[in-house]
Amino acid sequence: MTNLSVNLNKVALLRNSRSFGIPNVIKAASTCIQAGAHGITVHPRPDERHIKPEDIYELAKMLTFEFNIEGNPSLQFLEIIREVKPTQCTLVPDAPEAFTSDHGWDLATNGFWLKPIIQELKEIGIRVSLFIDPDLTEIERAKEIGADRIELYTEPYATAFRNNDVELVLHQYKQAAKKAQEIGLGVNAGHDLNLQNLEKFCSIPNIIEVSIGHALISDALEMGMFNAVKKYLSILTHN
């Protein structure tokens, strides 16, 4: 079974539109875990438009399950990671002004400075994942610079699924996952996965974890957070 990590960024985004803490990020995390989610993901950005550093520290106090913190490894981000020591740190090549994550790492350009960061995080007991396009060469480079896992960037798959032209793109992801697994990398996935496209994507063998935020939080507006998590888990359980 593929594990589900719920990304709470959109809960924080809604919370930040007012000044009195509703909805509550910590309560949302608790509800997700009570419903059976395997972990919680947050992705702080420099402008703090959703998750804030204080959210991360509060979540770290109450989490007894997998905590995944994503982001570009800026000095501020790495300071938080060193203090919190999450289960997993997913390094993402977001520019500060990025609207959302929209590409994987170019490791030919960035691998040399990511390598010592990865080594440091692993030395303090943090599993390191790299946000990667389904590119076999980049996957090999991820292994070379010491990553434990990759997170496949799945927006191209989601777009192809919406356009009813998914088989060729899905094949690329299957090949990417197979390559990563053959060289000893764990495979996570995330971005625009939802109730419609998740089952087909997770037909790819041995996807360890999917991180889902926007779609799940949107579904929760209709069915409630607890039931939304259960719905996603029901799909993952059958794969």
* pLDDT tens profile 21-57: 999 999 999 999 999 999 999 999 989 999 999 999 9
Mean pLDDT, range 62-91, rounded to an integer: 94
- Count of alpha carbons within 13 Å of 217, Cβ hemisphere only? 22
When pLDDT is cut at 50, 70 and 90, the band that residue 98 belongs to is low
Tell me how far CA of residue 78 lies from CA of 44, 70, 92, 171, in angstroms: 11, 11, 12, 35
Containing domain of residue 47, as a range? 3-237
Q: Which residues are catalytic?
A: 43, 70, 191
pTM: 0.95
Give the CATH number of the domain where residue 224 resides.
3.20.20.70
Phi and psi torsions of 203, nearest 5°: -70, -15
3-state secondary structure of 134: coil
* pLDDT at position 17 over 70: yes
Chain-centroid distance, C-alpha 233: 16
The number of folded domains in the chain is: 1
The mean of the pLDDT values for the chain is 95
When pLDDT is cut at 50, 70 and 90, the band that residue 101 belongs to is low
- Residue 239: partners with Cβ closer than 8 Å, 6 or more residues away: 1, 2, 199, 202, 203
pLDDT of residue 115: 98
Q: Give tens-digit pLDDT for 175-220.
A: 999 999 999 999 999 999 999 999 999 999 999 999 999 999 999 9
Percent composition of the chain: helix, strand, coil (DSSP 3-state, to 5): 50, 15, 35
pLDDT of residue 97: 60
SS3 string, 15-82, reads: HCCCCCCCCCHHHHHHHHHHHCCCEEEECCCCCCCCCCHHHHHHHHHHCCCEEEEEECCCHHHHHHHH
Cα(58)–Cα(37) distance, integer angstroms: 18
Radius of gyration, alpha carbons of the chain: 17
pLDDT of residue 95: 63
